Structure 1
Amino acid sequence: MDIELKSRTVYLIRILLGSEDGLDVTSLLEKLGVTKRTLYYELEHINEWLKASGHGTVKVVSHRVILFTDNKDSLRNDLDKTRSYYFSIEERKAMEIVMISLSDEPVTLEMMRTFFDVSKNTILFDIRDLKNELMQRNITLTSQVKSGYLIEGSEASVRKLIGEELQKLHNPGVRTIIRAMMQKSLESMTSNNIDFHEIARCLTRQYEKDIKGEIFLHETEFVNIMILVSWIRSTRGYIFNMSSVEKFAISNSASYRSVELSVQKLQIHGLKIHPMEIFFITPLFLGIHTSTFISEEQENSFIAEFTYELLRNFERISCISFVDKERLKSQLVYHIRPLYFRLKYGITSVNALLEDIKRMYPVIFRFTAMAIRETDSEICSMITDDEVGYLCIHFASHLNEKRIIKTSGASVDRILVVGESNMATSILVEDQLRSLLGNSFKYELVSTSKIRDWMLDDYVLIISTAYNSNRFTCDHLVSTGPIISDVSKKRILRIINERGTSDEISGKVNDIIKIVGEYVKDEIARTNLHFDLFRLMNKEAVSDDMVTVDGIDKKVKNGEILQAGSGKTWQEVLGAGCRSLVGEEKGLRLFDRMVNLMLKNGNKTFRITDDVLLVHCPMQGDPEANVDISVAVAEEPVDFPNCSGASVIVFLSTKDNYTHWGVLDEVYSYFQVRNRLNGILELYGSEEKMIAQGV
């Protein structure tokens, strides 16, 4: 018989043999994944072979493909004699690994030569190549006289290898051969001739029933085959294992309990699956088919590197340096390992203390979330606020949040007084506000010429002393003359109660006013009492060692911006920033220190946005160290070491691990609003830069 059949042709004849009424053309096209033209070409080729072998013909009748033959058994026998698949080199190597790993009999050189119908040298070349490839995975391929070829290594690595090779063998005909081989292996090892593939399908259906819904797997058939892989390998004595942390994560899932129950039912009927294999089968139902790691060692290395990068990012973002870094790293690894497995297997973790953590450690929580986003790993997008809260606790345990809050300028509500350019009236009004409210707020003065609409939301209250304040409006604006009237006082009080962040204090004041209200009938007296109580209760909230650095918004409004011009090097811009922070003489010393630090590791910069760069200038140990910021605007982007061009550079000097956090948090919050950058460029940038930014 001169006409040869390819695998798809043989597969098509076999499925037509199994159908009395034929198969619908549309369903065949979907099953084979081919065009109608290709299908009709295959049918033409089949008819040539059937005619030459005397086995009948195929016809398309009413849009159905039907096989007409007088002797199906004879046709099956001839198909069995026909080599049904011509493996490519890659497919042949994949099939060799599958055979060696899953066959119930020794896989020898002669056995593979016969199966693939190739020369002995071809198989030897394949084995040589496979040995080199498997060596990269810490897996060995050896041969023994009695047992044939053997694949040995970590069972988790071997299972992953088998899964990857099976994915390469996706041809329906080859899958049929593989299923037949696996069925034969299980029958031989268990002395049971039940349909093991059907048992695997039953496990899947039982899982659907247990979770009360339809399972959506990438490839259910592949999962069923991998269940049989688990059965064969464990029966041969190759038991799957994983770390106790990973087992703990999986055992807490509903999927694990479903598989565990199914395995117990099978054991009752004499079908044994090793209990450890539940930890292999469960992730299959969870949809975990592939991973970038080929071994447990690589996975451990990833966790360690992720932890190091997270810690490094947190230091960069918070502008600190942990003293006991190794101890903190060990604690983080201890938590990140189960976190990684929870993400890997899609197991949701609910942090019951999340809101308390956010309330107690607001700055640390925000910086932790930022550090995670900066970490170069695809798992970062899967980390929820619940998980961020857990990591926040570890960072908080090495920091003093109370001290951070105590020295945080950003934790204080701000009041803006807007007036004419001479500011005399504004100063008078500020004094009256301090008498009414005390030092529980941060007061800032600005002239009407420098105010912009995008600045208004930064303040809890805005007082305008200008004659014409119609050029800007907002809900929390109070217009007043040189002396604040009683009407204005009542409006100020209402706005502070509505917008102030001191909810607990405002609540206590209101409770007291309600109690004594019946004894204080006069509205003016009630208003003054309200202010007195508010001022008294806020006295403890303000610390003498509070950092009173002008924030970035005030620097912008007051025009305290370094205009770097064009064509400047990073050293020139850095020098200007250092001098602006600490003066000419100390600026030179700070500049020299910063150049060495920047060239050494470049870990003193952090990109806030595409156009804004933070440069951390640590001054720990300097007796005249202070906390301050300086802002530079360059007409052309400036490239710093390990950091590509930025148009706005924010310099921050620090003296310890705490006192700068409020100022720093304010800087980050400031640039979260896009039009703030546009506002800076509008005031201080070049015309070309403004056009580029769409200003």
Structure 2
Amino acid sequence: MRRDLILQYLYQKGKSLTSQELESEFAISNRTLRNELKELNAIGEKSGFVIQKKRGEGYLLHIENQELVQTYMKEIDGALAPDLPRVRVNNIIMLLLQTTEFQTIDLFADSLMISRSTVFTDMIEVEKQVRIFDLKVETKSRYGIRLLGDETNFRRAFSYFLSQKETGLLKKSNYQTFEKAFPFEEIRAVLSEEVQNNQLKLSYFALENILVHIQVLSFRVTQHNFILPNQEKKLDVSLIKPSFMNIAKRICEILSELYHVVLPGSEIIYLAAHISGKSSVDDIEEHEKNDLKQKLKNCLERLDQTFLTQFSGDQQLLNTMIMHMYPLLRRLYFNLKLTNPLIDDVYSRYSDVFMIALNFSEMIKEIWGFELSSDEMGYITMHLAAHVEREKQKQLSSYKKILLSYGLGAGSADLMKMKLETLFQGAKIDVVLYSELQSLKLEDYDLLVSSTSIPFDNISIPYIQVAPILTETDVQRIRRTLTRYPANKVKEDVPTLLSLFHPDLFYIEESKESFDYKAFIKEKAKSVVELGFAAPNYPALVVDREEKISTILQNGIAAPHALKMVAIQDSISVVIFKNPPTIDGKVVQILFLINLRAGDLFLHKELSRLFLHLMDHPETKQKVLKSNNFNDFQYEISKILFQYGS
């Protein structure tokens, strides 16, 4: 039931959630939410929990008896009635994947506790989702619905939806029986041992992905669904090293004994391909390594030209990318998926680098002919982000000699110096009274930090003013100011985030019943072009970006932007929806249409910080949403930026 979904949601989040967040997540009214919470608290009296309402914060699940709560959670697990469209669709697909028989509309309606008309509506999205895995829905009068397609595609889809771990994931009784008996830990131990013995490298997430594949393989063969002999001819077996085949053989021997079946050689080959596509090896053939290295270096150089970055000069990045790309290309060739559970966090926190990864994925398609999934782009983003962080640390390390000026209070100056020493490790920091500043040669220093305003004109070194008592906000502001990436000298004409918002690009909209999100953002992008802020191809690039991966974030925030940075003048269009539309199961309350120039990538990072702040502080977001005009909006945003020192 929906109330149990709400309980699980509060339990998983582990923090206070406002009524607006809960209403948006479950697409319900405030009155319905209050009724559901009232029922939950009645259940909680006997089940060891209470949902508290905290003024100014929202609703918080308070655990009074962990054992009773765990017992109740087990009771409702797998027996929930999902009310969210995306959960319903996933569950219909899951029910279809767990059997080869026809399933009736009534079965879906009863299992999900929804109407037949809702099932028919959801089937449109079901057909769209399974098509991604080259499966199709077969409908037969008086029989029902089932999925058709190659066994390899069934397994790809099954593994994917299992890894989503959606709240209320429905499992048929036969699958539940199989799952309880499956020796997960034994298989994990054997796989880990073999990986170590064969000197392979396997990340935690890759290991989990392979285990899910083995679990799906086991379930399908218990239903007598095998990868047919000769299907392995679709693969170039020569690409699979003997070590991967040996591991697959051992795993298949265990499964054959466990389920009393003889697995054909095609099953061993496909399992070996999975392991090959998700493992790294140190002994890449020299000619393969050199070819891969040269192509990657060319890709990184092209990224540098587009984004004014320095990726190609980072040998550590090049080496890690070679080791990542080797199994990645195997995965793409074998049509395998590696899911990334961190994808939402990666995109939210590194949206600037994610945009670079999108361009990198276009190069992979151009060179090798493969399309990267959003999960794979997430892993590429993590490698590129590691480079960005290293570059920022190098920038901080370049400030070897720092001058700290204070007005009065030697004690506060000592505190300021101590905090700066933690930021600029190894740097020499000289402390001087403001009155003595003019007698010094500023050119001898790399940076001037002062607790008082400096009236001198034409200061030849970077200068940052801070509070007399250095706060953590000041420290973070210094870090961000000095570690912009791409590197950007501290100068007066650097645009601020607040300056990117314009009254001509601010809108308050009433959403319509039939809302076309892509058409809407394209129309707003055209306005950006008409005002002279962006190149003519900007609208098309915005839609291209959206078709790659959705730019709708969490908690009502959307941040569409172009596939390439083609701004003539940096700008951000803002749309506040008074009746928020729901797109792909996500509510959009406020939309930021981003338009930046190449070289201003650091502003993308500052925007990520703003979005994260709005997502983590719903009460602040509500104040922004209540803006009735541009001045109201600008005032609320300026308060946020001032709060975290941007």
Instruction: Normalising by structure 1, report the TM-score.
Output: 0.32
Higher-RCO chain (CA-CA 8 Å, sequence separation at least 6):
2
Instruction: Normalising by structure 2, report the TM-score.
Output: 0.34
Of structures 1 and 2, the larger Rg is shown by 1
